[in-house]
Amino acid sequence: MKIAVCVKQVPEGSRRIDPETKRLDRSGEGTLNPFDANAVEEALRLKDAGGEGEVVLVSMGPPKAQDALRKALAMGADRAVLVSDDGAAGADLVATSSALAKALEREGADLILFGQQANDSDGAVLWAAVADRLRLPVVSQAAEVTHADGKLTVKRQTEFGYDVIEAPTPAVIAVSDAINEPRYPSLKGIMGAKSKPQETVSLADLGADGLESRTEIYALNDPPARGDSMKVEDDGNAAQAVVDFLAEKRLV
């Protein structure tokens, strides 16, 4: 079984918006999105359970995103494909899903895995947009995935318990961070990652020229200042001070 895992490089440490571009500042160090590490781990486990297959990483980002892909390669993925193009800078959900769908069509994978979300935007919708473009079944919040006889059985986590869903392949699955504990890359894996195939493709290579975002940001502003407030130091009378304050405001 050929498994494609969509992964993303996210900023390491604190996040800030660049006031000039009005985009997330990605100039600093980056790392593999932690939610995507769960997807990579699950792909490796499915490959091991089947006894054969391939795990290919698919990502979109600047050239330095290859650094994050190497971590997933060190975990055990077989190769990586990075969509990197100046025309994709600042791409929104619409543009990103379009480019990734083109890259995934090119791969023709039996299964496409996503992490539930990326921790730089926490959108948790990219997997649905890609599945819609590819016209494939999609299951989210997967807490368990098995593959047998050409179909997938997914245990989906909900607020009321679990749903068990069967889906044919190919399919798109977004895994939750509760599905597994991602392995740490071994020294052998880290060294081996340097020699694994890492392909970089442009939008033109995918036939995705003229990629356009549908989102426009007109302005960014600081949040409004808070109104009058009172700080209560707890010297043993804090509870009474709070009650007196609420009574003064006629809230109790």
Q: What is the pLDDT of residues 181-202, one digit of tens each?
A: 999 999 999 999 999 999 999 9
Element at 49 (helix H, strand E): helix 34-50
Span 122-133, pLDDT tens digits: 888 999 999 999
Token pair in block for residue 149: 């006889």
Token pair in block for residue 243: 């009650």
- Structural domains in the chain plus CATH codes: 2-201 (3.40.50.620)
Token pair in block for residue 58: 């698919």
Which amino acid does the sequence have at 131? A
If pLDDT is split at 50, 70 and 90, which confidence band does 69 have? very high
If pLDDT is split at 50, 70 and 90, which confidence band does 19 have? confident
Residue-averaged pLDDT of the chain: 90
Convert 57-68 to b/e letters by CB count within 10 Å (16 or more is b).
bbbbbbeebbeb
Span 220-238, pLDDT tens digits: 887 887 777 778 888 888 8
Cα distance between residue 166 and residue 139, in whole Å: 9
Span 144-154, pLDDT tens digits: 999 998 899 99
Please count the CA atoms within 13 angstroms of the CA of 40 that sit on its side-chain side.
30
**What pLDDT, on the 0 to 100 scale, is given for residue 214?**
84
